[in-house]
Amino acid sequence: MNKNRLLCLAVAVCFVFTFAAMGQGRQNQTFTERYGQQLNLTDVQKKQIDELDAKFQKEHAEFLESFQKTMTEYREARQANDTAKVQALQPKVDALRPEMTKLRTAHEEKIAATFTDDQKAQWKKIQEEREARMKQRQ
């Protein structure tokens, strides 16, 4: 009986680490990895977009690192119900979010300039769906 419990525990631990790794991988996807198939991007478009992504990451590395660190701390504090830390981080989060939105919007506009008309229509649909999901989470 103990062997069965140990086996079940080992399998459960493997699942936890597998799903954690999958979740992290999704967050680190490039634009072309995440949307390339949906938008039916050509190889030339993928190359252009990857170059735009690399330039964006390089130009905004310091801000992006600060944003990600702050948002991670904020999410962890919320999950731990640490209201004092949430309240302490809230002004910083409120200041960083609009800046991140502004940067991401400008970057996505540069990317969209590489799209065909059909791809632009599909991209608009993807953006609307993404926005609806964000509103549901709030």
pLDDT-based confidence at residue 17 (cuts at 50, 70, 90):
very low
C-alpha–C-alpha distance, residues 43 and 17, integer Å: 34
Q: What is the pLDDT of residue 106?
A: 95
Q: What is the pLDDT of residues 113-122, one digit of tens each?
A: 999 999 999 9
Q: Is 2-137 a CATH 1.10.8 domain? A: no
Please indicate whether residue 32 or residue 8 has the higher confidence score (pLDDT): 32
Q: What is the pLDDT of residues 54-99, one digit of tens each?
A: 999 999 999 999 999 999 999 999 999 999 999 999 999 999 999 9
- Closest by CA position to 113, among listed 34, 67, 49: 49
Give the global pTM.
0.70
Instruction: State both tokens at 71.
Output: 């948002």
Please name the residue ranges forming H helices in the chain.
2-27, 31-39, 43-59, 61-79, 83-112, 117-137
